[in-house]
Amino acid sequence: MPDPNGFLRYPRRVPARRPVPVRISDWREVYPPAGEELIREQATRCMDCGIPFCHDGCPLGNRIPDWNDLVRTGNWDAAVASLHATNNFPEFTGRLCPAPCEAACVLGIAGGDPVTIKQVEVEIADAAVERGGLRPQPVPAPTGRSVAVVGSGPAGLAAAQQLARAGHAVTVYERDDAIGGLLRYGIPDFKLEKRHIDRRVAQLAAEGVEFRTGVNVGVDVTAEQLRARHDAVLLACGALAGRDTPETPGRRLRGVHQAMAHLVAANRVVAAAGEGRPALAVLPDGTPIDAAGRHVVIIGGGDTAADCLGVAHRQGAAGVHQLDLYPQPPAARDEERDPWPTWPWILRSYPAHEEGGERVFAVAVQEFVDDGTGQVRAVRIAEVTVEKRDGRRIVSVVPGTERELPADLVLLAIGFEGTEEQPLLTQLRVTRNPRGAVDARPDWQTGTDGVFVAGDMHRGASLIVWAIAEGRAAAAGIHAYLGGGTPLPAPVDPGAQPLAAR
Ligand SMILES: Cc1cc2nc3c(=O)[nH]c(=O)nc-3n(C[C@H](O)[C@H](O)[C@H](O)COP(=O)(O)OP(=O)(O)OC[C@H]3O[C@@H](n4cnc5c(N)ncnc54)[C@H](O)[C@@H]3O)c2cc1C
Ligand code: SF4
């Protein structure tokens, strides 16, 4: 029986992050572990309210009150089992999820402080490792059916694990040199150290999943060859087509890059250092890209922009500006606009924002300014207003507000335009919709029989928790298609959307 008064006795507390000067001198995760006493206290704040809206906030339907109570009573093994019943990779979501569950927590009504659900989650996930490692689960007798998973991000990995545990032979094809999708070379180590991915990959391999890296499906292996080898194909290729701004004068200057180019180069250097190999941060064509000593301007306000900010400080940038088209959001939920339990539009600050840099809101770049040699030396910005008219975004410049910011490195973190156009799609006769994503039928099949889709490739650029949820659900669709017995869990359907007021 949960403690109905715990939230009255204990305020919300999260562990202190590592001090800024210390953490920006390395690439390790910014959060230290919470410690058992703090986390059991915080789990005690969950009153098991009866109708747990947090379940609806979490796309995975994580059984949050159950594992909060198990942690409160120190029943760690049962908490580990309860969490893994709905989430294949809680060590990823516990570190990286923006926690829509917390926005939906009953304790958050009327400006209250929700339970630290995400923190409890990561502590349970880490306890699983400390208490004997991530033991492979016994797999049933082989079904004799085989599935190809294309893409090894959280969607592909979640599907692979579910299908292997149902007895199917699963091969994951990844064009990169390492498994993990965006978690590997997109998201920096200070948010997710890569040992967490390596541990899971070892677990999946021990459960029978075969991994083939360095294979660009559609180029190194044709879709026809893939279909001849496997009974079903899951496409989990992400939404990696970066949005650009080709119409802005100066876009082609040296020093103006896609944010992902910077992140991947930096993360590869960290990976090489972990293997004892010296490496320079370079673009695929060998051009150096590094923020050391540079004035950096990051354009965009989301996860990617915040990750670039953290990377720039660790590389030793001279100064960083982060530009956002929209006005600064309010500090607290606007109940009219986003009533509880929906996801509110509020100012979100990531640990990277504590580390320095200046955020500039309601501005747009008018020009990337040439230093006379073809290298960017500044960005010319202007204040703007943004409004929606007939569903279209109208950006208007406020006259007389133009100014320059120094810039020798400009990073475009202005979003993604869906999945990349690539030979694989043509070969499988799979088309992208106007959002650049691939539509799924109710059973997660694309328009091509036996070819399924999940994760960002289906949803558009989204979140890890949605990728895992879609991977699990698509695995259930594939299992049924292959004539599997007991249905697999399907936490979402292809039309599922976050909680919304309208
Ligand atoms: C910089 C950045 C930071 C982010 N931070 C967060 C965060 O803090 N929290 C959060 O919840 N979400 C975050 N996200 C979003 C999250 O990473 C994605 O939603 C998630 O990774 C999507 O998973 P996925 O499996 O669908 O695809 P991805 O992770 O994109 O993986 C797709 C994989 O498919 C491979 N692939 C593509 N085509 C082929 C092919 N033809 N053959 C073989 N392999 C192929 C790609 O190489 C890639 O490895 C972030 C995203 C970015 C870009
Ligand atoms: S996965 Fe995200 S939404 Fe679900 S319980 Fe964990 S932090 Fe909350």
pLDDT at 33: 86
- Ranges of H-type helices in 110-258: 117-130, 154-165, 182-185, 195-206, 223-229
Task: Give CA torsion, residues 127, 274, 258, 414, to 10 deg.
Answer: 10
- Ligand 1 atom nearest the C-alpha of 259 is 1
- Ligand 2 atom nearest the C-alpha of 121 is 6
pLDDT at 425: 98
| Ligand 1 centre distance from Cα of residue 240 (Å) | 7
Mutate to test the pocket of ligand 2, among 93, 123, 126 (most ligand atoms within 8 A of CB): 93
Nearest of 476, 491, 465, 462 to residue 91 by alpha carbon: 465
Does the beta carbon of 94 lie inside 6 Å of ligand 1?
no
Q: CB 161: neighbour CB atoms within 10 A?
A: 23
Please tell me the distance from the alpha carbon of residue 130 to that of residue 117, in angstroms, as a whole number: 20
Tell me the pLDDT tens digit for each residue of 377-400.
Answer: 999 999 999 998 988 999 999 999
Amino acid 441 reads R
Please tell me the distance from the alpha carbon of residue 161 to that of residue 92, in angstroms, as a whole number: 15
Mutate to test the pocket of ligand 1, among 464, 466, 468, 470 (most ligand atoms within 8 A of CB): 464
Whether residue 502 is predicted with pLDDT greater than 70 in this model: the reply is no
Ligand (nearest to CA of 60):
2
Length of the chain: 502
Does the beta carbon of 97 lie inside 6 Å of ligand 1?
yes
Would you say the C-alpha torsion 474, 476, 479, 480 has a positive or negative sign?
negative
| Ligand 1 centre distance from Cα of residue 397 (Å) | 34
Check if the beta carbon of residue 183 is closer than 8 Å to that of residue 238.
Answer: no
Does the beta carbon of 181 lie inside 6 Å of ligand 1?
yes
Q: Which two tokens stand for residue 114?
A: 């929700």
Q: Which two tokens stand for residue 243?
A: 């949005």
| Ligand 1 centre distance from Cα of residue 17 (Å) | 26
Ligand (nearest to CA of 104):
2
Over residues 135-161, mean pLDDT: 96
Ligand 2 pocket at CB < 6 A: 57-58, 60, 62, 64, 93, 97, 99-101, 117-118, 121, 465
Q: CB 224: neighbour CB atoms within 10 A?
A: 10
Whether residue 174 is predicted with pLDDT greater than 70 in this model: the reply is yes
Ligand (nearest to CA of 304):
1
Would you say the C-alpha torsion 285, 269, 217, 422 has a positive or negative sign?
negative
Tell me the pLDDT tens digit for each residue of 319-349.
Answer: 999 999 999 999 999 999 999 999 999 999 9
pLDDT at 148: 98
Q: Residue 358 burial by CB count (10 A; 0-12/13-18/19+): exposed, middle or buried?
A: exposed
Whether residue 133 is predicted with pLDDT greater than 80 in this model: the reply is no
Q: Residue 291 burial by CB count (10 A; 0-12/13-18/19+): exposed, middle or buried?
A: buried
Mutate to test the pocket of ligand 1, among 176, 187, 192 (most ligand atoms within 8 A of CB): 187
Task: Give CA torsion, residues 247, 250, 256, 258, to 10 deg.
Answer: 10
Please tell me the distance from the alpha carbon of residue 81 to that of residue 79, in angstroms, as a whole number: 5
| Ligand 1 centre distance from Cα of residue 120 (Å) | 25
Q: Which residue has the higher pLDDT, 47 or 473?
A: 473
Long-range contact list for 430-435, CB < 8 A, 24+ apart? 430/235, 435/460
Does the beta carbon of 425 lie inside 6 Å of ligand 1?
no
Q: What pairs with residue 17 in β-bridges?
A: none
| Ligand 2 centre distance from Cα of residue 99 (Å) | 5
Element (H, E) at 385: strand 376-389
Ligand (nearest to CA of 89):
2
Nearest of 496, 387, 495 to residue 100 by alpha carbon: 496
Q: Which two tokens stand for residue 493?
A: 């359907």
Does the beta carbon of 90 lie inside 6 Å of ligand 1?
no
Does the beta carbon of 154 lie inside 6 Å of ligand 1?
yes
pLDDT at 4: 85
**Residue minimizing CA distance to atom 30 of ligand 1:** 238
Check if the beta carbon of residue 334 is closer than 8 Å to that of residue 96.
Answer: no
Nearest of 60, 59, 61, 64 to residue 106 by alpha carbon: 64
Task: Give CA torsion, residues 394, 400, 402, 403, to 10 deg.
Answer: -150
Does the beta carbon of 236 lie inside 6 Å of ligand 1?
yes
| Ligand 2 centre distance from Cα of residue 499 (Å) | 13
Amino acid 387 reads E
Task: Give CA torsion, residues 324, 325, 330, 334, to 10 deg.
Answer: -140
- Phi-psi category of residue 426: left, alpha or beta, with phi > 0 → left and psi -120 to 50 → alpha: alpha
Whether pTM exceeds 0.85: yes
Check if the beta carbon of residue 45 is closer than 8 Å to that of residue 115.
Answer: yes
Q: Considering only 46-60, 185-199, 262-276, 357-371, which range has the smallest mean pLDDT?
A: 46-60
Does the beta carbon of 152 lie inside 6 Å of ligand 1?
yes
- What helix, strand, coil percent values describe the chain, rounded to 5? 35, 15, 50
pLDDT at 79: 97
Whether residue 266 is predicted with pLDDT greater than 70 in this model: the reply is yes
Ligand (nearest to CA of 158):
1
Please tell me the distance from the alpha carbon of residue 1 to that of residue 485, in angstroms, as a whole number: 36
Q: Which string of b and e fits 10-19 if b means at least 16 CB within 10 Å?
A: eebeebeebe
Check if the beta carbon of residue 205 is closer than 8 Å to that of residue 110.
Answer: no
Whether residue 485 is predicted with pLDDT greater than 90 in this model: the reply is no
Q: What pairs with residue 299 in β-bridges?
A: 323, 412
**Residue minimizing CA distance to atom 2 of ligand 2:** 99
Cα–Cα separations (whole angstroms), residue 125 to 79, 106, 179? 9, 24, 20
Over residues 75-92, mean pLDDT: 97
| Ligand 1 centre distance from Cα of residue 132 (Å) | 29
Q: Considering only 30-39, 233-242, 366-375, which range has the smallest mean pLDDT?
A: 30-39
DSSP string, 231-243: SEEEE------B-
Does the beta carbon of 298 lie inside 6 Å of ligand 1?
no
Please tell me the distance from the alpha carbon of residue 75 to that of residue 478, in angstroms, as a whole number: 35
Please tell me the distance from the alpha carbon of residue 47 to that of residue 187, in angstroms, as a whole number: 34
Nearest of 464, 496, 489 to residue 474 by alpha carbon: 489
Tell me the pLDDT tens digit for each residue of 46-81.
Answer: 998 889 999 999 999 999 999 999 999 999 999 999
